[in-house]
Structure 1
Amino acid sequence: MTASSPSAAPQEIDLEEFETKHRSGPWVNRFVFTLSIFLAVAHIYINTIATLPELWISAFHFAGFGTLCALLIPANPKWRDSKIAMLCDSAIVFALIGMVLYIIFFEDALYARGVTFNNADWLVSSVTVLLSLELIRRTSGWFIPLLIIIALTYVVLWGSWLGGMFAFPGLSLETLLYRSFFSTDGMFGSISRISWSFVFMFILFGAFLVKSGAGDFIIDLSRSLASKMIGGPGFVAVLGSGLMGSVSGSSVANTVSTGVITIPLMRKAGFPARFAAGVEAAASTGGQLMPPVMGAGAFIMASYTQVSYVTIISVAAIPALLYFLSVGFFVRVEAKRSKVIATESDDAVNISQVFKSGWHHIVPLAVLVTLLVQGFTPTYAAGISILAVIAASFLSSKHRMGPAAVLDAMAQGAKNMSTTAVLLVGIGLVVNVISTTGVGNTFSLLITNWAGGSLFFTIILVAIASLILGMGLPVTASYIVLGTLSAPALFNLIAEGQLLDMMASGSLPDAANAIFMLVDPSAIASLAQGMPMEQAEALLAQVPADFKSMLMDQALGTQSVAMILVTAHMIIFWLSQDSNVTPPVCLTAFAAAAIAKTPPMLTGLTAWKLAKGLYIIPLMMAYTPLIGGDTATLLHLTFFGIFGMYALVAAMEGYLEDKLSIYSRLIALIAAAMMLWPNLDLWIQCIGLAAFLVLFVIGNKSYKKNM
C-alpha cells in the first residue's frame, strides 16, 4: 500500500512493502533481524541498568537505527540490489560505527585541546551531519533535510545578510559543528534522549502488545460494545482506533491496522465508502491524542514543560474523550441519514466471550498505569509492563509468547523505531539552531505582533503554521519545531489574559499588588476594587519584562502557571495533528482511501470535516480551564462540551435525528455557541441545551414516523 510507505509513516516501516520497495535477501533479513534484537536488548539495558554518558548513548542510538535504515531503505528503490548501492550503504554503516567509537575514545582529547578542532574532528562531525541528512531523506523525503540545511546555513552564512528582527551576526562553522555534534544541545541532545528512552520503550511495549494478540482483543472488544448501536460499525472504528492509538501512537499505522477491518464493516452496513474512510482517518488521528502514549508527544511535552508525564496524560484524557465523541456524533448522524439501523452482524462477538478470552491483555496496561501513578519513571514502567505482557500471554492458549515470539516482538519494535529515531536525532539540529540564535523568541514576538495581541488570531496563525509544516514534517517533528517557536507566545497570551481578568475583577493577591506598587503606586486603590479592562491592559504593559514572570507566579500561582504552559503546548500538539486529515497532504486520509478505494483528496476533505474537534477543542483549552481545572469545573465543561459538539455537528450536517430545516440548523448552531462559548452564564448554557434537546426529541419522533 503506497499510503503506508515509510515516507508516509515515519513511525513504522511497512513490512508488507519490504520485498518490493526495500532491500531483500536472506543475509539482509538475517542481519537486520539480529541487529534489531541487539538494539532492543541494548536499549532495555541502557534504560534500566546502565550508567553511561548520555552523549555516548545518543551516538549509539543514532548509529544503530541509522544502520537499520541504511540496510532496509536504499538511496533509490531502483538501485536497491546493485553492487554500488550496497557499497555505499556499507560505507554508511562503517561510518556510523566509526562515529560512535570516535566519540567514546576521542571526546576527552577535544577538551584537552581547549575545544579546538583538529582534522579528525572536522571530518567526523561533518560526515555525521551529512549522514543524518541522507538517512532522513531516505525515510521522510527531502523536506526535513532542506529544513535542516536552511537552519544550519542561517547560523553560519545568510543570517548575517538579513536585517530587522531576524538578523543574526553568525557563528563560525567550527562552533556550529561543535554545538551540533559534541554538545548536549545538538543532534545528541534532549530530543535524542527522549527518543532512546521514553519513545523507544513505549514503541517496544506496543510491539509486544500487538504480538501478544492485544490488537485483536481491542477490535473484538470494540465490535462487541458497538454492535447493537445505531451505526455500530462506525463506532467500532472510533472505539477501536482510539484504543489502538493509545498503544501504537502512530496515526497511519493505526489506520492501516484497524482500517482493514473497520472500513469494510462500515461499507457492508451501508455507510458511504468515502465517509467510512474519513471516519477511520479522523479516529486514527485521535489515537495520537489518547493517553497513555500519545505518539511521542507526551514525553516531549513533559520534557519541555518540566511537568510530570503522569500529569500530562491525566489532563489530556478529557480533551481526547471530547474529540472521539465528536467523531462519534458524525457517525450517528450519518447512520440516521443513511438508514444504518442497529443490527447484530453474523460475526459479532459477545462481550463476555471477548473478556473471557482476552481479559489478560488488560493486565499489562493496568501494570503500566499503576506504576506511573505510583511515581515510577515512564521507562521503568514500560520495562516492567513488557514483562507483564509476556507473563500475561501465558494466561491464554492462543498467543503464548515463547522465546521465538519475544525475539520477534523485539525485532519488530526496533524496526518500528528506526525511522523515528533517525528523524528525532536530525530534528535536534533544528532545535539547536532555534535555541542558539534566539529565533524562537523572535518568532513568538512576530506571531504576537501579527495577531495584534489577540489569542484567537494567534491560535489561527499557529494552526496555519502547523498545517504548512505538517506537509513535510511528521506530527512529532512538527510539534517539536512549532512548540519551540510559538509556545512562548501562546503561554504569555493565555497567562496575561487570566492576569487581566483578575486585575479587572479586583481579585489580585497582595503579593502581586506589591509589584504594581513599583510601577504605578496610584493604581493600587483601583486594583483592589477592580478596574476597566483597558486600564488594566495599560497598567500591565508598564510592567518590565523581567518582572512579568514573577508577577504571574504571585498572581496565578506556580501550579496554575505550569498548567498554562501545558495548555500552550497541548494546543500546539493538537493543531500539529491537522496535517493528517487536511488536504493537500493528509497521509492518514490517503491510507484510509487506499483501503476504501476512494479518491484520496475527496477522502481527505471528508476526514477534515469529521476531525473538526482538532480545532474546537484547542479553543476550549485556550479560553477555559479544560486543562488543569478542578473537578467541578471539568465536569461542567465536559457536560456542556459534549452537547455543544453534538449540536455543532447537527448544524454542519443539516441532520440530527431527522433532516433539519434551515431554521432548525440555525437554532442548532446558536445552541452550540451558547454551550461552547467560554465564560457564559450557566442559565445561557442551559437555554442552549434545552433548545438542542427540543430539536433532538422532535427529530426523533419524525424519524420514527418515517421509518
Structure 2
Amino acid sequence: MTASSQPAAPQEINLEEFETKHRSGPWLNRFVFTLSIFLAVAHIYINTIATLPELWVSAFHFAGFGTLCALLIPANPKWRESKIAMLCDGAIVLALIGMVLYIIFFEDALYARGVTFNNADWIVSSVTVLLALELIRRTSGWFIPFLIIIALTYVVLWGQWLGGMFTFPGLSVETLLYRSFFSTDGMFGSISRISWSFVFMFILFGAFLVKSGAGDFIIDLSRSLASKMIGGPGFVAVLGSGLMGSVSGSSVANTVSTGVITIPLMRKAGFPARFAAGVEAAASTGGQLMPPVMGAGAFIMASYTQVSYVTIISVAAIPALLYFLSVGFFVRVEAKRSKVIATESDDAVNMSQVLKNGWHHIVPLAVLVTLLVQGFTPTYAAGISILAVIAASFLSSKHRMGPAAVLDAMAQGAKNMSTTAVLLVGIGLVVNVISTTGVGNTFSLLITNWAGGSLFFTIILVAIASLILGMGLPVTASYIVLGTLSAPALFNLIAEGQLLDMMSAGSLPEAASAIFMLVNPSAIATLAQGMPMEQAQALLAQVPADFKGMLMDQALGAQSVAMILVTAHMIIFWLSQDSNVTPPVCLTAFAAAAIAKTPPMLTGMTAWKLAKGLYIIPLLMAYTPLIGGDTQTLLHLTFFGIFGMYALVAAMEGYLEDKLSIVTRVIALAASAMMLWPNLALWIQCIGLAIFLVLFVIGNKSYKKNM
C-alpha cells in the first residue's frame, strides 16, 4: 500500500464543539441515571401494555425528557455551576411536573366550562409553550424557537397585516393556546405521538445494540469485507457508516462513532485527510437514508402518507443502495488517483473470525425484520428485538448483558432521546400553525407558480428551501416543516405528469375518461386515440380541483397514488439531508473535520461534492418508478443507475481508471446522461453503457501500464 504524505491541518477543531456540554456531578449523575431508567421503563410500558389517553402520554413524554434536558444542559455554559441557575432549572422541572398533573386532573374541567379558559389554564398553557422554547434553545440553538415565535405570532398578530396569498384573519390568543396545548393537533399531537412511540423504541433498540457490542461488530465486518478492495479503508467508511447509521438514526453521532476508526484508516492508506473526512461525512449522512430507522423519517413519513412503515422502508432500500454506491465510486476514483492499492495490512480483519465472534448480533436484526414483514407494529417489533438483543448477547462470552448492562442501555437510550423528544414536541407547534392557517397549501401553490408548473424547477426550489431551513433545523425537523409545506405541490406535479402521459398515449381507463365527459364531451373521442401533450394539458386544466383527486384515483389507481405521495415525501426527506454536508452549516462535515484535523469549510465542500447522490437520486425518484415500481422496472433502473452514477463521478473528477482528458470527460458525461436520463429507449441506454465500458477498459490498461 503506497502512503502519500499527509497534509498538515491548518487548524484543529475541538470535537466538543459538536457535543452538548452537559452538567455532571455524583448526585446529579445518580439522579439522571435513575430518571432515565424510569423513563425507559415507563415508555416501554406505555408502548406495550398501557391504554392511556394520548394527550396524557405526550405531556408525560415532554415533561420527562424536558426534565433531563433542564438538568443536564444549563441555560448558558458559563452558568453550569451557578446555584441560581440550578434553582431556576429546578423550578423548570417542577413546572413540567405540574403541567402533567394539570392535564390529568383538570382537562375535563376545561370542557365542562365550554372550553373557556380560566386563569390557571392561561398560566399553565402559556408557561408550557415558553418552557418548550427554552428547552429547544438549550438543545438546538435560537433558530427553532425563533421559527416557533414567528409561526405563533403570525396566527394572532401579523398575519392579518399581510396582503395577498398569505393573509390570515387571525385567531384569539386563547384559541391558539388551546390548539397548541390541549388539542391533539399542537405540541402534543401526531409528531409527539411518533416521538414517544416509534422513535423512542428504535432509539432504545439502537442503544441496546451498541451496548451489546454490535457497533464493534459492524466496523469489523466492514473491514473484513472491504479491506482487500482498491481503496479498502474508504469502503470500510462507506459500508460501516451505512450499517451503523441504519440503526443509530443520527448522522453526527454516526460520524463521531465510526469516524474515529475509519478516518485514521483512510489517512494511513494514503487518502488525503480532507477527502477521508468528506467520505465519512457523506457516508454518515447516508445512514439516515438507510432502513430501518432512517433518522425517524420513516415513522413520520408513514404517519403523513398513511402508508405502512414496512412499505416505506422497502421502497427506501434501493435508493439508499444507489447513494452509498455513488459515494463508493468517488472512493475508488480517488484510490486510483492517489495510488491506494489493495493489499494485506497489519490490522486486517478475518471475516470468518468476525462472523464466528459476532454472528449473534445478526439475530436481533433478523427478528426485527421478520416481525415487521409479518405485519407486527414497529413498536412491538422493536420491543421484542430488544429482548432478542439481550438473549443473543449470552451467545457470546464478551458482551453478555446482565442486569447492570441492561440498565446502562436503558439509561443511555433515554438520554439519547432527550433532545429529540423536546425538539419534536416543539415542532408540533409549527405544524399546528401550518395546518390551522392553510399556509401549507398556499406555499405549495406559490412553489408551483414560481416553478411555472415545472417539476424540475419545483425540486430545485424545494432543495434551496431545505438548505435554508437546514441551517437552523435538524434534518428530521426540516423534513417535517418542508414536507408539510411543499409535499402537496410535488405530489400534484408528479401525479399530473403521469396522468398527462396516459392522456397523450390514449391509455386512460374508461372510468377516468367519464370524468372528462363532464368537462368537455367532445374530447372523449380524441382521448381514446391519444392527443398532443399541449392539448392534454389544456384539457386537464379544465377539470375542477374538486374532481382532480377522483380523476387521479380512477386513472392511476389507489396504489399508484399512494406511491406518488410517498415519492413526494421521499424526495423532500432526501433533500433535507443536504444541510449535513453543505456549507455554511454542515455539522456532520464539521465533526469529520474535527477528527481529521482539516479546515471545516473546505471539508464541507468536499463532503458536498461526494454527496451528489442526494440530488441525482431524488430526480430519478421524480421522473421514474424508482419508488414503487415492479421488480423488472426496479432492476432495470438500478442497473443503469449504478453505471450512470459511476460515469457521472468520472466526469466530475476527471478520472476513471486513469486520468481523463477534457474530451473523454465530456464523453463520460454524455454516457452518464444516456443511462440516467428518464424514459430513454433501451438501445440508447445500452449505447451509453458501452461507451462507459470502453472508457473503463482503456483507462484500466493505461493505469496498469503506468504503474
TM-score, normalisation: structure 2 = 0.98
Change (3 A) 1:390 1:13: farther
Change (3 A) 1:269 1:44: same
Matched-pair contact (CA < 8 Å) for 2:2–2:269:
no
**Within 2, Cα distance between the matches of 1:659 and 1:18?**
38
Matched-pair contact (CA < 8 Å) for 2:242–2:290:
yes
**Within 1, Cα distance between the matches of 2:363 and 2:476?**
29
**Within 2, Cα distance between the matches of 1:6 and 1:36?**
44
Q: How far has the Cα of 1:19 moved from its partner?
A: 11
**Within 2, Cα distance between the matches of 1:20 and 1:92?**
19
Q: How far has the Cα of 1:20 moved from its partner?
A: 9.3
Change (3 A) 1:701 1:517: same
Change (3 A) 1:384 1:313: same
For 1:100, the equivalent position in structure 2 comes to 100
- Aligned to 1:20, the other structure's residue is in SS state coil
Change (3 A) 1:250 1:10: farther
- Aligned to 1:180, the other structure's residue is in SS state helix
Q: How far has the Cα of 1:677 moved from its partner?
A: 0.1
**Within 1, Cα distance between the matches of 2:15 and 2:284?**
20
Change (3 A) 1:551 1:326: same
Q: How far has the Cα of 1:11 moved from its partner?
A: 27
- Aligned to 2:540, the other structure's residue is in SS state helix
Matched-pair contact (CA < 8 Å) for 1:4–1:591:
no
Q: How far has the Cα of 1:14 moved from its partner?
A: 13
**Within 1, Cα distance between the matches of 2:12 and 2:443?**
32
Q: How far has the Cα of 1:389 moved from its partner?
A: 0.2
For 1:310, the equivalent position in structure 2 comes to 310
- Which runs of 5 or more residues in structure 2 are unaligned? none
Matched-pair contact (CA < 8 Å) for 1:13–1:416:
no
Change (3 A) 1:4 1:92: farther
Matched-pair contact (CA < 8 Å) for 1:656–1:699:
yes
Matched-pair contact (CA < 8 Å) for 2:228–2:343:
yes
Q: How far has the Cα of 1:10 moved from its partner?
A: 28
**Within 2, Cα distance between the matches of 1:10 and 1:138?**
31
Change (3 A) 1:6 1:647: closer
For 1:402, the equivalent position in structure 2 comes to 402
Matched-pair contact (CA < 8 Å) for 2:6–2:270:
no
Matched-pair contact (CA < 8 Å) for 1:209–1:389:
yes
Q: How far has the Cα of 1:135 moved from its partner?
A: 0.1
**Within 2, Cα distance between the matches of 1:658 and 1:31?**
60
Change (3 A) 1:46 1:294: same
**Within 2, Cα distance between the matches of 1:246 and 1:2?**
33
Q: How far has the Cα of 1:9 moved from its partner?
A: 24
CA displacement 1:333-378 (0-9 Å, x = unmatched)? 0000000000121111110000000000000000000000000000
Matched-pair contact (CA < 8 Å) for 2:233–2:269:
yes
Change (3 A) 1:2 1:534: farther
**Within 2, Cα distance between the matches of 1:103 and 1:663?**
70
Matched-pair contact (CA < 8 Å) for 1:5–1:14:
no
Residue 606 of structure 2 is aligned to residue 600 of structure 1: no
Change (3 A) 1:12 1:681: farther
**Within 2, Cα distance between the matches of 1:255 and 1:414?**
21
Q: How far has the Cα of 1:17 moved from its partner?
A: 8.7
For 2:628, the equivalent position in structure 1 comes to 628
Matched-pair contact (CA < 8 Å) for 1:8–1:252:
no
Change (3 A) 1:319 1:14: farther
CA displacement 1:626-650 (0-9 Å, x = unmatched)? 0000000000000000000000000
**Within 2, Cα distance between the matches of 1:515 and 1:426?**
44
CA displacement 1:669-697 (0-9 Å, x = unmatched)? 00000000000000000000000000000
For 2:490, the equivalent position in structure 1 comes to 490
**Within 2, Cα distance between the matches of 1:39 and 1:545?**
48
**Within 2, Cα distance between the matches of 1:32 and 1:586?**
31
For 2:351, the equivalent position in structure 1 comes to 351
CA displacement 1:54-78 (0-9 Å, x = unmatched)? 0000000000000000000000011
**Within 2, Cα distance between the matches of 1:13 and 1:324?**
27
Q: How far has the Cα of 1:81 moved from its partner?
A: 1.1
Matched-pair contact (CA < 8 Å) for 2:364–2:388:
yes
CA displacement 1:373-395 (0-9 Å, x = unmatched)? 00000000000000000000000
**Within 2, Cα distance between the matches of 1:400 and 1:105?**
44
**Within 1, Cα distance between the matches of 2:9 and 2:177?**
30
Change (3 A) 1:9 1:331: closer
Q: Report the number of matched residues.
A: 707
- Aligned to 1:184, the other structure's residue is in SS state coil
Change (3 A) 1:283 1:604: same
**Within 2, Cα distance between the matches of 1:81 and 1:350?**
49
| Identity across the alignment (%) | 95
CA displacement 1:280-308 (0-9 Å, x = unmatched)? 00000000000011011000000000000
Q: How far has the Cα of 1:96 moved from its partner?
A: 0.1
The runs of at least 4 aligned residues of structure 1 exceeding 3 Å deviation read 1-20
Change (3 A) 1:8 1:150: farther
Q: How far has the Cα of 1:140 moved from its partner?
A: 0.2
- Which runs of 5 or more residues in structure 1 are unaligned? none
- Aligned to 1:11, the other structure's residue is in SS state coil
**Within 1, Cα distance between the matches of 2:15 and 2:497?**
50
Change (3 A) 1:320 1:647: same
CA displacement 1:207-248 (0-9 Å, x = unmatched)? 000000000000000000001100000000000000000010
CA displacement 1:526-584 (0-9 Å, x = unmatched)? 00000000000000000000000000000000000000000000000000000000000
Q: How far has the Cα of 1:22 moved from its partner?
A: 1.9
Q: How far has the Cα of 1:24 moved from its partner?
A: 1.6
Q: How far has the Cα of 1:21 moved from its partner?
A: 2.6
Change (3 A) 1:18 1:608: closer
**Within 2, Cα distance between the matches of 1:127 and 1:439?**
26
Change (3 A) 1:495 1:565: same
- Please list, as runs of the form range in 1=range in 2, the aligned pairs for 1:52-131 lying within 5 A after superposition: 52-131=52-131
CA displacement 1:242-275 (0-9 Å, x = unmatched)? 0000010100000000000000000000000000
Matched-pair contact (CA < 8 Å) for 1:4–1:256:
no
Matched-pair contact (CA < 8 Å) for 1:222–1:240:
yes
Matched-pair contact (CA < 8 Å) for 1:12–1:417:
no
**Within 2, Cα distance between the matches of 1:3 and 1:259?**
19
The more displaced of 75-84 and 58-67 is 75-84
Residue 541 of structure 2 is aligned to residue 541 of structure 1: yes
The more displaced of 644-653 and 19-28 is 19-28
Change (3 A) 1:392 1:498: same
Matched-pair contact (CA < 8 Å) for 2:333–2:656:
yes
Matched-pair contact (CA < 8 Å) for 1:55–1:188:
yes
